[in-house]
Amino acid sequence: MTSPIQPKKNRLLKWFKKYHKWPGLIFALFILLFAVSGIILNHRGIFSSVDVSRKCLPGNYKYNNWNMAAVKSAVKLPDDSLLVFGNIGIWKTDRSFTSFSFPEGIDNRKIYSLLQTQNHRLIAGTLFGLFEYNNGWKKLNISVKEERIVKIIEKKDSLLVMTRSYLLIANLNDKSLKFSIINVPAAEDSGNKVGLFRTIWVIHSGEIYGIAGKLLIDLVGLIFIFITLSGIFYWLAPHLLKRVKESSKSRIKKVNRFSLKWHNRLGYWTVLVLLLTTITGMFLRPPLLISIANTEVSKIKYSKLDDPNTWDDKFRDLMYDEVLKRYVVATSDGIYFSDDEFGSLLRKYSVQPPVSVMGINVFEKMVTGGYLVGSFSGIYQWIPDEGIIIDYFTKLPLTEASQGGSPFGALSVSGFIRKPDGTQFVFEYGGGAIRLGESGNFPQLPVEIIKKSPISLWNTSQEIHTGRIWEFLLGPFYILIVPLTGLASVLILVTGFFAWLIPYRRKIKKQESIILKTG
């Protein structure tokens, strides 16, 4: 006699199978793209020399009016010409553009900081280290493991180089620059904590446990790829069997049995780590990002985050204010200053300008007073000692009420140039060069630069992984791709687990019943 509970279990099993199958098929492409791009993102150095032609991507990835962070800033040379630098590398300009050579791969040519010293040495900071130009670019040894340069400044005879984790100094009078580390003290508000955003980031990438953690997440990506493809094949198999010759049917059945077996095994063995990777990924992009952007948590013991360096991966920019005899240090925790050459705890400004969680892109001393601070949250004149923040476009003061909400402003500022004649240009990530003040345009983007500026495979993967690749189709709604795919993946994983668990428990109970009867 059939138990009345049995039909309920059958209905529940059908429900799990239904909501495992259809979301899996609908979101299969997105899951595959996220998995493949995630593996590439985990190994930037390996893929840094691989480029992708912008012709292969949607139209909004083609350079137009110096957009997409093509330009970060410029350095004035003694002859009043400019060295313009950014994602396009370094180009010298007066009325025409002439390129400098640089290592192969557009990712190696992204310039984060450029300095022409008083003794005419040209130093460039990149994603992969520090370079000096002397009949060609030569990489300099800075003696630290983390070589992502964020700023280079000159102070008298000293060259100061800031990476994301260290501040280094060298004597510019030495023919061969020899760097030593400046021990930057902790901040006065330091609580030995780390941003929740970074914590989730390193968990999602596996970086929290170094290369071993990254390889584990690579494996997670491969598992996602396999279970997605095997799920598609399981759905296609009955349709294929109706259309192929008899001789091919046994091969299809064999492959289907094998893929289904490992689809189930890998799914239930790794469901927890698959869920963890999915959920953490959802919080690294808007709108969920907004809920964690300004939250700090304790460091996870015995992990990458548990670093004795207080400023590990926190430095973002540096300036020396000659008038105030003060170092101003921009970090992921805010902007601090030191009036005693880093002899005591760094002090945090009580009034902070808006800076996107994506990082600071413009940080300059202003002749009219204060500092110019730009990021994806906009661009502002900031006079910290007077507690004043003024929108640099509207010239209106910023109120506390207007600082809340999204970490992205009306203008996503990626760069700024003040030409020798005083003309100013802001570079917006999407729209490109915008002249401030009187009407006029920045020089047209030369065809030569466009030809020599593909997009790196790593950045292409980043565009895919963040969902921005779909902006051409969905407009601003592309930001929903990550959370919707994440929610769908959670549903697929949970329903898949229970769709396996219910028949498995029935099988175990049946076996136990047979043993009891025969025993």
Q: Interior CA angle at 381 toward 325 and 386, to 5°?
A: 60
At 75 the three-state DSSP class reads strand
Give the whole-angstrom CA distance, residue 357 versus residue 198. 10
What is the pLDDT, as a whole number, of residue 464? Answer: 97
Is position 274 within any domain? yes
N-term to C-term CA, the chain: 23
Q: Worst-scoring range by mean pLDDT, 17-21, 51-55, 220-224, 397-401?
A: 397-401
Tokens of 154: 């000159």
Q: What total number of domains does the chain contain?
A: 1
Asked if 83 and 114 touch (Cβ cutoff 8 Å), the reply is yes
Angle subtended by helix axes 5-26 and 28-41, to nearest 10: 60
Strand pairing partners for 390?
Answer: 381, 397
User: What is the pLDDT confidence band of residue 75, given thresholds at 50, 70 and 90?
Assistant: very high
DSSP reduced 3-state for 9? helix
Confidence check: pLDDT of 329 > 80: yes
Q: How much is the average pLDDT of 26-50?
A: 96
Q: Are 161 and 142 in contact (CB under 8 A)?
A: yes
Q: What is the pLDDT of residue 405?
A: 43
Please say if the pLDDT value at position 417 is more than 50.
Answer: yes
> Could you read off the pLDDT of 94-135 as tens digits, one per residue?
755 666 666 777 778 899 999 999 999 999 999 999 999 988
Is the distance from CB of 93 to CB of 81 less than 8 angstroms?
yes
Asked whether residue 230 is domain-assigned, the answer is: yes
Q: Is 395 left (phi over 0), alpha (psi -120 to 50) or beta?
A: left
Round the CA-based radius of gyration of the chain to a whole number and report it.
27
What percent of the chain is modeled with pLDDT above 90?
Answer: 73
Q: What is the mean pLDDT of the chain?
A: 91
Give me the pLDDT at residue 79, please: 79
Are 398 and 354 in contact by the 8 Å Cβ rule? The answer is yes
Q: Which amino acid is present at 144? A: V
- At residue 444, the pLDDT reads 86
| DSSP-based three-state secondary structure for 178 | coil
The identity of residue 57, as a single letter, is L
For residue 390, tell me if it sits in a domain: no
Output 207 or 508, whichever has higher pLDDT. Answer: 207
For residue 180, the model assigns a pLDDT of: 96
Q: Give the least confident one: 39-48, 238-247, 480-489.
A: 238-247
Lowest mean pLDDT among 12-16, 154-158, 454-458, 510-514: 510-514
Question: What is the pLDDT confidence band of residue 76, given thresholds at 50, 70 and 90?
Answer: confident
- C-alpha 31/C-alpha 71 separation (Å) is 33
Going by C-alpha positions, the residue among 315, 338, 26 that lies closest to residue 151 is 315
Amino acid at 41: L
Asked, for residue 50, whether it belongs to a domain, the answer is no
Mean pLDDT of 442-454: 88
Write out the residue range of the structural domain in which residue 256 sits.
5-40+196-303+480-508
Sign, Cα dihedral of 329, 335, 337, 343: negative
Indicate if the pLDDT at residue 470 is higher than 70.
Answer: yes
The yes-or-no verdict on residue 400 having pLDDT over 60 is no
More confident site: 95 or 191: 191
Which residue bears the tokens 């950014």?
86
In this prediction, residue 97 carries a pLDDT of 64
Confidence of residue 439 (pLDDT cuts 50, 70, 90): low
Whole-angstrom Cα distance, residue 363 to residue 359? 11
Predicted confidence at residue 107, as pLDDT, reads 76
Report which of 102, 38, 63 is spatially closest to residue 414, judged by C-alpha positions.
63
Is residue 256 domain-resident?
yes
Q: How far apart are CA 346 and CA 357, in angstroms?
A: 21
Give the distance, in angstroms, between the CA of residue 108 and the centroid of all CA atoms in the same chain: 16
pLDDT the model gives residue 208:
94
C-alpha span between 241 and 492 (Å, rounded): 26
Q: Strand 129-133 to strand 89-93: parallel, antiparallel, or no bridges (unpaired)?
A: unpaired
pLDDT of residue 170: 97
Q: What is the reported pLDDT for 108? A: 81
48, 129 contact by CB (below 8 A): no
What is the residue whose two structure tokens read 């919080």?
Answer: 283
247 pLDDT band, cuts 50/70/90, is confident
Mean pLDDT of 446-466: 93
pLDDT value, residue 96: 56
Amino acid at position 15, single letter = W
- Grade residue 182 by pLDDT with cuts at 50, 70 and 90: very high
DSSP state at residue 475: G
Tokens read off for 3? 């138990």
CA proximity to 282, closest of 180, 200, 352: 200
Query: What is the full DSSP assignment across 118-158?
Result: TT--EEEEETTEEEEESSSEEEEP---S---EEEEEEETTE
Structure tokens that stand for 254 in this block:
């064999």
Angle among Cα 226, 465, 41 to the nearest 5 degrees reads 80
Q: Reduced to 3 states, what is the DSSP secondary structure of residue 360?
A: strand
